[in-house]
Amino acid sequence: MDMKDLPKAYDAAAVEADIFKQWEESGAFDPDKLAELDPRYKGAKPYCIVLPPPNRTGTLHLGHAKMLAIEDLLIRFHRMLGKKTYWVPGTDHAALATQVKVEQLLIKEGFKDPRQELGREKFLERVRDFAQQSRDTIVEQCKRMGSSMDWKREKYTLDAERNLAVNTVFKMMFEDGLIERGYRVVNWDPTFQTTLSDDEVDHKDTQAELVTFTYDKDFPIAISTTRPETKFGDTGVAVHPDDKRYKKFVGKTLKANFCGKQITLKVIADAEVDPKFGTGALGVTPAHSLIDADLAEQHVLPMVQVIGQDGKMTAEAGKDFEGLTTIEARKKIVEILEKQGCVQKKETVPQSLLIAQRGESPVEQLPMRQWFVRVNKNFKLRNNTLGKWKKGDETTLKDLMSYAVESKQIKILPDNFEKIYFHWVNNLRDWCISRQIWFGHQIPVWYKGDETKVSNDQPGEGWTRDPDTLDTWFSSGLWTFSTLGWPDKEKWAKEREYHPTDVLETGYDILFFWVARMILMSTYVLGEIPFKDVYLHGLVRDEKGRKMSKSIGNVLDPLDLIPKYGTDAVRLSLVMGTSPGMDQKLSEDKIKDFRNFTNKLWNISRFVLTTTRSPHPPLIRGEDELSSAEGSTLADRWILSRYYGVQDRVTKLIGDYQFSQAGELLRDFTWGDFADWYLEISKVEKGKDAILWHILSRLLPLWHPFMPFVTEYIWSLIGYPQQLLVTSWPKSSYENDGKGEKEFEVIKNLITDLRRMRAEQSVEPAAFIKVAMVVDKETQKLIEENIAIVKQLARLEEVEFVSEVAKGWPTTVSGKTTVGLNLASGIDVAKEGEKIQKEIEQLKPYIKSTEAKLKNKEFVSKAPEKVVNDMKNKLEEAKAKLKALEERMKA
RNA sequence: GGACGUUUAGCUCAGUUGGUUAGAGCGUUCGAUUCACAUUCGAAAGGUCGCAGGUUCGAAUCCUGCAACGUCCACCA
């Protein structure tokens, strides 16, 4: 393309697809092919991030886009640094979530009970179809975001290799006694007919009627409940040990006729009971409350299940109630009790209802035979683990999880999430891992009579497999190593070097679900941490701070935004102005601003491409070092010094996960220094081609991790033979004494002052063409050397150096230098006077307080020398400025 | 009930070991405009850093208390 024909505005939509294709086809996303692209990758250090596998439940949202932007930034940065980078791509079957989604779709299609009507195999077929479609969309979206991962290496939480890993770990845990089957109270979702882990249950605030009553007319103790229907299952009454009212009953067994059912209740004393709540007595329902089940276990109370898996009353509730819904039963019971005169009080109280996170249906707690992971149970370690335990030592899963973070082997960013993590781990209960849904890893357990066997395949004639599947987090917990070939010895040996992975980047909302479980699995199975750093990003909210949701209609879809503003702008808007762990408000305006910046970079490059000599830059790396003749003017020294300062700081900031700050620094330099000053100067002072290229060819790599498309595109237009994404990260080579920067500030300030005066004097532009100034010899020389720049940027036609300031002519001050400016004509003296007066007023208190500070002996002796010296210099400057201003006022 | 955050310019947010007169972007106001970019350029206005104490030579930053908002966890039956 002829450079002159470059479009005025960067057209992202027109070039992104091609660029991505080139990246993909070059093999740069594949860690094993990097060495073919550049020998420096041979034997290079590995750098690995596993992509938090998106759920195959639909499409990606802005939260995913943010995740991809940050991870791709890290991957591209480390790839350019010369690491063998492996970003492991994949998707998650998301068991329950996906099945629920498909069931809902099928119901919309007209099915009443899709599972029953279709049967396991046909139903699963539908789920798999949906998951496949979703997967295709997700992969396409990831590519649109520019994510540099190699989908040829795609993994799936439900594919054969991951299944082998799941079954292997299940067997290990079973043999270690960590996985057990038990009859316990679990969370049960009657709508979807499955158990749920504690983390999959939410609370919803509602109003409920709290009824205070006695079980029958003769019962001596009154209790309160919002769920009278569960009272058929009561087997105890609990009171506080110190409660005098009930002391005489403690230890006794009482009988009652509760709405036609004979029940037997043991009165127990437990400190957990709050004597001030209600009557101070608590009806214990071991089968339908996790809390009561704990009480029952301690006091040995029997368990009577009165609510069935269908959410209706069981035969244990008596003939009159069997088959009623809980709501119907509740109503009937209260009516009967009222008739009997047993009800003492009815009041409305706030209550938090248990509901399922997926599907929002109410959750019942009831006893079932399920599989659990025992987190508090001691077991013998199979590995040397975390440097604390040796093979054969006894510990618990909980201890492993705590120690990995406690010992700082895993660092969580921001670190306040470490506290939250510990709190969660400490209160962790056994993890119910069996689900009664069909979509997922089927539990590898076989039964024959009373025998139980763990096996991938049917052990022989007459064995039947447990129909349940595993909690989705069981398989995603293995993700860091199941994706790297484990447990296949050969494959694992090949990719072993990537584990522990370097960073786990994800939203803080799945810290418990996923991050914690990966730590559990990796420390248990491998005896090592799954990742070194955890970077938690915040949620993306709408401009009003609300969660994006379809019902509010405030969802911004990445796929709508990308064609409109370009991927680079979308990515920048998700990274800039954010910090880890903090939620982000995003509006289209913000994306628009970054689209403007993308265009700015485009035009900077277009300027350099079209105005400098051809062929443009030395096209081989390392041959663009500057000769001593280049970079000899003040402006050159200034921009080089600025650039290298920025480069070093940006490199450090990205390494420290301070992406937003790194980006801001780069933007300030690119826009504020390079474009607005240096490029303008290059129009006046010729011979800057080498430096323009020197900086642009480094700026593009620095920007690449933030905005890969536009930078790569410009890079290719310039004609570099090597793709930008595998070009090495710029290194420091500039020796910088800082003098150029300081001297240039004098020129810069002078120009700024002149510009301001021109703007504020509201004079005709033509009147402001001649300036006479009084300066010391040194400064005069400096200005004379750069006179062309001053004239051009301040739009003056003439500059004159005079011996003294003429009467009535304003003066101004730049840095240390007093400059008298004589304007040729048309100055509004009154206006200028006002302005000066104001400045004086601002200056005086500062001088006063600074002088006082410097007189303070304690301050001078205790403060660092640098602070004191800086302050002294600054004070001198301020004093000089004040003096000048006062003289000007007089005039 | 417990824990953890947040509170800085009109808006969105930076401010990492306490240290010059607290920053950016957007917005606002004023001005510029053939010359890479109107997706542009220059300038200005705008903040007692939520409140009250404390530590310190020095606090947006550390400590204590309070308030508002938010999130997570637990659930009083």
Q: What is the pLDDT of residues A550-563, one digit of tens each?
A: 777 788 889 999 99
Please give the average per-residue pLDDT across A231-250, as a whole number.
93
Amino acid whose CA is nearest the C1' of B35:
A683
Cβ count within 10 A of residue A85: 29
Closest nt by CA–C1' to A199? B73
pLDDT bin (cut points 50, 70, 90) of residue A1 is very low
Distances (CA, A) of A125 to A429, A566, A865: 35, 37, 74
The arithmetic mean of pLDDT across residues A121-145, rounded, is 97
Radius of gyration in angstroms for the set of CA atoms belonging to chain A, rounded to a whole number: 36
Instruction: Answer yes or no: is pLDDT of A105 > 60.
Output: yes
* Assembly ipTM: 0.95
Considering only CA atoms, name the residue closest to the C1' of nucleotide B57. Answer: A859
Looking at chain A, the whole-number percentage of residues with pLDDT higher than 70 is 92
pLDDT 10s digits, A369-421: 999 999 999 999 999 999 999 999 999 999 999 999 999 999 999 888 998 89
pLDDT above 80 for A510: yes
**Closest nucleotide to residue A658 (Cα to C1')?**
B16
CA A169 – C1' B77 distance (Å)? 39
CA A512 to chain centre: 14
Residue A891: its pLDDT value, please? 61
- How far apart, in whole angstroms, are the C-alpha atoms of residue A707 and residue A415? 28
A290 CA: nearest nucleotide by C1'? B75
Confidence bin at A3 (pLDDT 50/70/90):
low
Is residue A885 pLDDT above 80, yes or no? Answer: no
Work out the pLDDT band at A349, boundaries 50, 70, 90.
confident
Q: Do the beta carbons of residue A287 and residue A303 sit within 8 Å?
A: yes
Mean pLDDT, to the nearest integer, of A670-684?
Answer: 94
Q: Can you read off the two tokens belonging to residue A364?
A: 């019942």
Distance, CA of A698 to C1' of B13, in Å: 28
pLDDT of A757 > 80? The answer is no
pLDDT over 90, % of chain A: 65
* pTM attached to this predicted model: 0.93
User: pLDDT by residue (tens digit) across A191-230?
Assistant: 889 999 888 898 888 888 999 999 999 999 999 999 999 9
CA A469, C1' B41: Å apart?
Answer: 64
- Gap from A359 CA to B19 C1', Å: 55
Per CA to C1' distance, which residue is closest to B4? A420
CA of A459 to C1' of B66 (A): 67
Query: From the alpha carbon of A764, which nucleotide's C1' atom is closest?
Result: B31
> Which of strand B's nucleotides are less than 7 A from any protein C-beta?
3-6, 12-16, 19-21, 24-26, 30-33, 35-44, 57-58, 72-77
Contact of A200 with A187, CB cutoff 8 Å: yes
SS3 assignment, position A830: helix
Mean pLDDT (whole number) for A87-97: 95
Q: Residue A650: pLDDT band by 50, 70, 90 thresholds?
A: very high
The per-residue pLDDT for A747 is 87
| Model confidence at A247: pLDDT above 50 | yes
Using 50, 70 and 90 to split pLDDT, how confident is the model at A857?
confident
Confidence of residue A825 (pLDDT cuts 50, 70, 90): very low
A830 CA to B29 C1' in angstroms comes to 21
Q: Is the pLDDT of residue A533 over 50?
A: yes
Structure tokens at A619: 């096209």
Say how far A556 CA is from B25 C1', in Å: 21
Confidence class for position A742, pLDDT limits 50, 70, 90:
confident
Determine the protein residue whose CA lies at the shortest distance from the C1' of B58.
A859
Instruction: Name the nucleotide nearest A509; use CA and C1'.
Output: B72
Identify, with chain letter, the residue nearest to nucleotide B23 (CA–C1'): A664
Is the pLDDT assigned to residue A816 strictly greater than 50? Answer: no
Looking up tokens 């913000």, which residue turns up? Answer: A590
Selection from A164-173, A358-367, A761-770 with the highest mean pLDDT? A164-173
Q: Span A564-572, mean pLDDT? A: 96
Identify nearest nucleotide to residue A760 by CA to C1′ distance: B43
* pLDDT at residue A815, rounded to an integer: 39
Q: How far is the CA of A572 from the C1' of B63 (A)?
A: 38
> What is the band of A168 on the pLDDT scale with cuts at 50, 70, 90?
very high
More confident residue, A861 or A328: A328
The pLDDT of residue A474 is above 70? yes
> Which nucleotide is the nearest neighbour of A661, by CA and C1'?
B14
Longest dimension (CA), chain A: 114
**Nucleotide with the nearest C1' to A231 CA:** B77
> Residue A160: is its pLDDT beyond 50?
yes
Q: Is the pLDDT of residue A544 over 90?
A: no
| Higher local confidence (pLDDT), A545 or A562 | A562
A351 CA – B1 C1', rounded, Å:
14
Model pLDDT for residues A574-587, shown as the tens digit of each residue = 999 999 999 999 98
3-state SS track over A622-663:
CCCCCCCCCCCCHHHHHHHHHHHHHHHHHHHHHHCCCHHHHH
- Average pLDDT of the segment spanning A727-738: 79
Of A817 and A250, which is predicted with more confidence? A250
Give the closest nucleotide to A755 (alpha carbon vs C1'): B42
| E-assigned strand segments in A123-200 | 155-156, 179-189, 194-196
- A555 CA from B61 C1′ (Å): 37
Token pair listed for A157? 């939480």
**Distance CA A860 to C1' B72 in A:** 47
Distance, Å, A545 CA → B67 C1' = 22
Distance A233 CA to B1 C1' (A): 28
Average per-residue pLDDT for chain A: 89
Which nucleotide's C1' is closest to A427 (Cα)?
Answer: B73
Length of chain A: 891
- Residue with CA nearest C1' of nucleotide B21: A846
Q: Is the pLDDT of residue A308 over 50?
A: yes
Q: How sure is the predictor about A4, in pLDDT bands with cuts at 50, 70 and 90? A: low
pLDDT at A523: 97
Predicted confidence (pLDDT) per residue in A830-854, tens digit: 666 777 777 787 788 788 888 888 8
Distance A618 CA to B52 C1' (A): 64
**Segment of A144-153, A344-353, A741-750, A873-882 carrying the highest mean pLDDT:** A144-153
Give nearest nucleotide to A354 (CA–C1'): B75
3-state helix/strand/coil string of A838-865: HHHHHHHHHHHHHHHHHHCHHHHHHCCH
